[in-house]
Chain A
Amino acid sequence: MHTTPPPQERTADRHSESGTSEAVRLTIPVAMAYIPLGVAFGVLLTASGISWYWAPISTLLIYAGSIEFLAVGFMVAGLPLYQVAFTSLIVNFRHIFYGLSFPIDRLRGRAQKTYGVFALTDETYGITSAGPGMHLNGRQITILQVVSHVWWVLGAVLGALIGQVIPESVKGFEFALTTMFLTLAVNAVRTSRSARLVFLALGAGVIGYFVDQYVIEESFLIVSLLLYMVAISWMYQKEKKA
C-alpha cells in the first residue's frame, strides 16, 4: 500500500534539510566574533608559554569567552584554585539567568538537553532565546550550538599554531585581554548608565590594589570583586527600604 512515503513525512524531510542550513546560516555572525577571538586566545596562550594543545582542550571544556582569556593569566600567575573558582563565579555570574528563558523543552533526551545547557554562551543564548533563532526547533538549536562551538575551537587552534611561529621576542599580546575587557566595560556602562557603579568599582579596585601589593600577593580580583559585591548588596538593601 505505502509505496510512497506519506506526504507529511516528505514535507518534514524538506524542512529538516533547509532547517540545517538555516541553523548554520545563523552561526555566521557568531563565527565573525568567535574566530578572531579564538585566534587571539590561541596566540595569547602559546605566546604565554603554554603548550598549544591546551587551546583545543580549553575551548572544548570551557565554552565561554572572557573567562578563558583570564585562564591564561591565571596559569601564568599560578593563581590558587579557590581564587580561580571565585573569579569564574563572579565573571560568569550572568549565565545564571540564561536558563530561565532558554527553550530547553524543545530539546529531546538527556544528552541533547545537557549539551544545550553546557553550550549556553552569551551568543547562542541571545540568538535562540531573544534573537533571530527564537523559532528554531530542538535539532536546529543543537546544530547552531555545535557549529558555533566548532568555530570557537577552530579559531583557538589556528591562533595557537600562529602563536608558535611568532618569535618569543615579540611582546604585548596580553594587551588583547585589556582591550577586550575595555569594550565589555563600555557596553556595561552604556547599559547601566551609572557613574556611581564605576566609582564604586574604582574604589574597590584601589583597596584591592593595596592589599594585592602590600598584604596578600595576587589577591586583587578576590578582594576587589568581593568589596564591589558588598557595596551593591548594600545598595540593594537601601533601595528596598526606600
Chain B
Amino acid sequence: MNIVLNEPLSQISLLFVSAAMGLLAVALLMFAFQLARLKDDPTESRFERYGFWVLGAGTLVLGIGVFLRGVAAQRVPWANMYEFAISGALMILTIYLISLRVKDVRYVATFVTGFALVTIFAAVSLFYVEVKTLMPALQSYWLVIHVVVAIMATGFFAIAAGFHIFYLIKAAGVGRALMDRFPDLRQLERVAYRFNMVGFVAWSFTLIAGAIWAERAWHRYWGWDTKEVWTFIIWVVYAGYLHAMATRGWTGKRAAVLGLIGFGAVIFNFTIVNLFFKGLHVYSGL
C-alpha cells in the first residue's frame, strides 16, 4: 500500500465540481424559461435546445471533477458521502442524457437538473472531506461493483420520480395550460415504469452484491445492519410498486405515490441513515 494522496488535486477537482454546479444552474434556468414559454407557445424549443447544450457541458465538467477526485485519491471516487454524492449526480445526468436518445424524456429536465444541482450543492457545502486512505474493510473490488450499481439504480429511480411528480401534478389538474403540453398520463406512467423497472433490477443486484461482500468482510451475508434494513425496505417498496402496476385499481395515482415513497426511502437511506443511524456502513467520512 503505497498510495500517495493528492489533496491539491482534490481541490482542483472541487473547482470543476463547483463550475459544473454553475452550469447546471444555468441549464435549470433555461429549462424553467422553456416551461414558462411552453404554456403559450407549443413550438417553443430555443431555451430547451440551449439548456441541453449547457447541461451536456455541465455533465462533462462534473465528469472531469469526479475523475480528478479519483486520481487524487488513487481509487474509485465513491468511498464517502461527498464522493457518493458527486458520482451519483454524474450518474443521474449521464443516464438522463443517454435516455434522451432512446425515449422522449425532455419533460423532466427541470426535475433531473434541479435534483443533480441540489445533490452537488449538498456534497460541496455539507459533505466535503479531504481525500483519505481507504479503511481495510473497503479495500475490495466489491466497492467498485456494489456501489456503482447502487448509484446507477438511484439514477434510474430519480428519473422515474420526476415522471411520478409530473404525473401527479397532471392528474391533480393543476397548471392545466402547461400540463396539457406534457405527454398524456398513460405515457408518463409508462416511462416512469420503465425507469423503475431498470432501477429495481439494479437495486436487486446491489443487494445481492452487498450480501456477497458482507459475507467476505463481516462473516455473514445479512445482519440487519441499519443500511441493510433500508436497502431491504427500498427493495420491498419498489416490489410493491411493481405489483401495484399489475393490480387493478392500483395503477395510476396510487402506483405513482408508491414510486415516490420508494424514492423518498432512497434519499432517506443516503442522508438520514448515513448521518444519524448507527451501523456498520459508517463511511460518510464526516
> Do A and B come together as binding partners?
no
Residues of A within 8 A of B (CB): none
Footprint of A on B, CB under 8 Å?
Answer: none
